[in-house]
Amino acid sequence: MKINVKVRARCKREGVSGPLPDGSYKVEVKAPPVDGSANEAVCNLLAQFFKKHKREVRVVLGSTNSRKVVEIDD
């Protein structure tokens, strides 16, 4: 399954909100957007949210953008 994600990095709290009316999810992470640390934090949070292993969640589009497409293995 592929989902659209809007990421906010360097937030005070971490969490996943959604699905939003447009079908996307909002993810807030504490990690800064440096060297892929925010992408890794997004994958970890989404894995917890969807009850999947970390290796089953990956960013497929938008690795340097705040809007991403994330693929989750079924």
Tell me the pLDDT band of 74, cut-offs 50, 70 and 90. Answer: confident
Task: Report percent pLDDT > 70 for the chain.
Answer: 100
Q: pTM higher than 0.85, yes or no?
A: yes
Into which CATH architecture does domain 2-72 fall? Answer: 2-Layer Sandwich (3.30)
Residue with tokens 């894995």: 47
Residues 1 and 46 sit within 8 Å (Cβ to Cβ)? no
Q: For the chain, what is the radius of gyration of the CA atoms?
A: 11
The pLDDT mean for the chain works out to 96
